A and B are shown apart, each in its own frame.
Chain A
Amino acid sequence: MSDQEKYVPHPGEPAPEAGNEQHEAAAYGDEEMQIVHKQLERENGEPEEGFTPVPMVLMVCFGLLFFWAGMYFTKYNGDFRPDVFGTDWTPGGNSAQAQAPFDPIKRGDKLFSNNCAACHQPDGNGVPGAFPPLDGSPWVVGAPERFVKIVMRGLHGPVEVKGNTFNGNMPSYGENGLNWDDRDISAITTFVRQNWSNEAPPISEEQVAEIRASIADKTGAWTAAELLALHPME
Chain B
Amino acid sequence: MKNLPLLFMGIFFCLAFSFSGLILSSMIQYGHLEPVTEFVNHPDTGEQIPGAFIEIGDKLVQGVNQPDEQTFPIESVGLAQQGKQTYINMGCLYCHSQQVRRKGFGADYERGWGDRQTVPRDYILQQRVLLGTSRTGPDLMSIGMRQPSAEWHYLHLYNPQFTSPGSIMPPFRFLFETRKIGDAPSPDALKIPDGFPAEKPPAGYEIVPTDRGRELVAYLLSLKLNYELPESRFSE
Q: Is there a direct interface between A and B, measured as CB atoms under 8 Å apart in the complex?
A: yes
Q: A residues bordering B, Cβ < 8 Å?
A: 80-83, 85-86, 97, 99-100, 110, 113-115, 118-119, 127-131, 167-173, 177-179
Check B112 against A169 for contact (C-beta < 8 Å). no
B149 touching A169 by the CB < 8 A rule? yes
The reply to whether B193 and A115 form a contact with Cβ atoms under 8 Å apart is no
Residue total for B at the interface (Cβ-Cβ under 8 A): 36
Task: Check B193–A127 contact: CB distance below 8 A.
Answer: yes
In the complex, the chain A residue whose C-beta lies closest to that of B105 is: A86
Q: A167-B191, A168-B151, A169-B151 are in contact. Are A83 and B164 (CB under 8 A)?
A: no
A82 CA to B29 CA in the complex, in Å? 7
Q: Complex formed: what's the CA distance from A115 to B192 in Å?
A: 21
* CB nearest neighbor in A for B156: A118
A170 CB contacts on chain B under 8 angstroms: 149
CB pair B195 A128 closer than 8 Å: yes
Residue of A nearest to B110 (CB): A110
Asked if A178 meets B145 with Cβ closer than 8 Å, knowing A129-B191, A130-B191, the reply is yes
Question: Which residues of the partner chain B approach A82 to less than 8 Å between Cβ atoms?
Answer: 29-30, 53, 60, 120
When A97-B236, A128-B194, A178-B145 are in contact, do A119 and B152 touch as well, CB less than 8 Å? Answer: yes
- Contact, CB under 8 Å: B193 / A130: yes
Write out the residue numbers on chain B whose beta carbons fall within 8 Å of the beta carbon of A80. 29
Cβ of B56 within 8 Å of any chain A Cβ, yes or no, is no
Q: Among B119, B192, B235, which residue has its beta carbon within 8 angstroms of that of A83? A: B119
A and B contact pairs by CB, cutoff 8 A, 5 listed? A85-B231, A128-B194, A130-B191, A130-B193, A171-B149
Q: Is the CB of B162 within 8 A of A99?
A: no
Contact assessment for A118 and B191 in the assembled complex, using a CB-CB cutoff below 8 Å? no
Rounded to whole angstroms, the CA-CA distance of A114 and B114 in the bound complex is: 10
Q: How far is the CB of B32 from chain A (nearest CB, A)?
A: 11
- B162 & A130 in contact (Cβ 8 Å cutoff): yes
Among residues of A, the one whose C-beta sits closest to the C-beta of B117 is A85
> Bound state CA distance, A177 and B162, in angstroms?
25
CA distance A128 to B155 in the complex (A): 13
Do B53 and A83 have beta carbons less than 8 Å apart? yes
Q: How far is the CA of A129 from the CA of B155 in the complex (A)?
A: 12
A53 → chain B closest CB, angstroms: 17
Query: What string of 1s and 0s marks CB contacts (under 8 Å) between B90-102 and chain A?
Result: 0000000000001
**In the complex, A116→B111 CA distance in Å?**
13
Residues on A with beta carbons closer than 8 Å to the beta carbon of B163: 118-119, 127, 130
In the bound complex, residues from chain A placing their C-beta under 8 Å from that of B231 are 83, 85
Tell me, yes or no, whether B64 is within 8 Å of chain A by CB. Answer: no
- Across-interface contacts of A172 in B (CB, < 8 A): 148
